[in-house]
Amino acid sequence: MRIKKSLMDSSGKNKRISVVGAGAWGTAFSIYLARKGFNVLLWVYEKELCKVLEGYRENRYYLPGFILPREINWTDALEEVVIFSDDIVIATPSFALRETVKPVSDKFKDKRILILTKGIEIETLKFMSDVVYELSGKDTDIAVLSGPSFAREVAQGEFTSVVVASLKKELSLYFQNLIHGDDFRVYTTDDVIGVELGGAMKNVMAIGAGIIEGLSLGTNAKSAFITRALAEIRRLGKALGARDSTFMGLSGMGDLILTSYGALSRNRAFGIELARGRNPMEIISTQKAVVEGYFAIKAVYTLSRNMEVDMPITEELFRIVYEKKNIFDSIKDIKARGLKEEDE
C-alpha cells in the first residue's frame, strides 16, 4: 500500500475519491480526477502492478505512456479504498466485479457508488448495478457512467461526453457536479437499464463491426450493420423496460459508433482477428486487457433467448465465438433472412 499520510487526515480540505480497478479505464479516470484536483486512491489487483507503479508511476500493463499525477496513490488492500473516501468508483472487468467488491460491500451503504464497468453477469444475467445492489442492499446510493470514452483519449485530456444514470436524481446530479469539466461533459438520466444495456451491447456489436472490417466487406455493409445493430439493442431495451430515446444518446448510438469503428477499440480488434481466422480463445489468452464483448455475447444471447427477443446479429456472433461456426456461413444466413418491415 502507498498512501501519503497528508491525504489521510480528516480535515476535508482536499476531496478524496477511491477507484476500484487499475485497468485502462480505471487508470485513465483516475488521471482525469487528479487533474481536477482530487486526491485519488487507486485499488490495484495485481501485486506486480503495484511494484511497477511504485517504480515508474506509470501503468505499464494497461495504460502505458502516462505518468500518474502526484494526486494519485495506490493500494492492493481493498479495505483501504473504503476507508479513504465516501465516493467509490468501480472500474473492474464485468466478470470480476462481484468477487472483487463482495468482501467490502457491507460498507457500501454509507457510500456513494459510481460504476464505470460495462457488462452483464453471465451466471445471473444481472447488470452491474444489480450485482452491487444484491451485495450491499437496495438502499445503497448507486449510479452508473457510460458513453463514448476511450481510456487513452480521456487520459490525454481529449474532449469526452458521458452520461450518469441513477434511480435517485440527487445522486446523478451529485456525480455530474463532481466530475464534470471543460473537457469532460456529463449528462444525467434516470434510465439506468437503458444506459447499462447500451454499454454492454456496444461491446458485442463492435466485434461484428470488426469482422466486417477484417473481411473488407465495404462501407455499405458497415452502415447497414450499425443500423441493424442499433435496432437489436433497441428491441431488447424495449423488452427490458428501457426508454427508446436512451439508445439514440451517448450510451447508445454514441458508444456504439465509437466502439465499432474507433481504432482503439479492443472489441473491434477482436472481431478483426476473428475475420483473419484466429481462434477466439487464442485471441483472448494473448490479450492482457479484457475484451468485454467476448463475455457480453454469451450473456446477451442467453438473455434474448429467455425473453424471446429476436436478435439475429447477436445470435450469429454467439455461434461464431462460442460454437465455432464458420464466419462466411453466418454471413450467408444473415443475408438469407426473410423480408421484414424496417422497424421489426
Catalytic residues: 202
Instruction: State the Cα–Cα distance between residues 97 and 110, nearest whole angstrom.
Output: 19
Q: How many Cβ atoms are within 10 Å of 205's Cβ, its own excluded?
A: 30
Backbone angles phi, psi at 114, to 5 degrees: -120, 115
- Count each helix (H run) and each strand (E run) in the chain, helices first: 15, 8
Instruction: State the Cα–Cα distance between residues 18 and 87, nearest whole angstrom.
Output: 6
Torsion over CA: 334, 336, 338, 341 (sign): positive
Q: What single-letter DSSP state applies at residue 254?
A: I
Contacts with 131 (C-beta within 8 Å, 6 or more apart), sequence order: 97, 98, 121, 124
| Cα–Cα separations (whole angstroms), residue 232 to 186, 193, 241, 266, 288 | 26, 15, 14, 21, 30
CA 322 to chain centre: 21
- Grid cell of 136 as nine digits: 450491499
Residue 221, class by beta-carbon neighbours within 10 Å (0-12 exposed, 13-18 middle, 19+ buried)? middle
CB 98 within 8 A of CB 135: yes
Q: How many Cβ atoms are within 10 Å of 308's Cβ, its own excluded?
A: 7
Output b/e per residue, 286-301; b: 16+ Cβ within 10 A.
eeeebbbbbbbbbbbb
Residue 241, class by beta-carbon neighbours within 10 Å (0-12 exposed, 13-18 middle, 19+ buried)? exposed
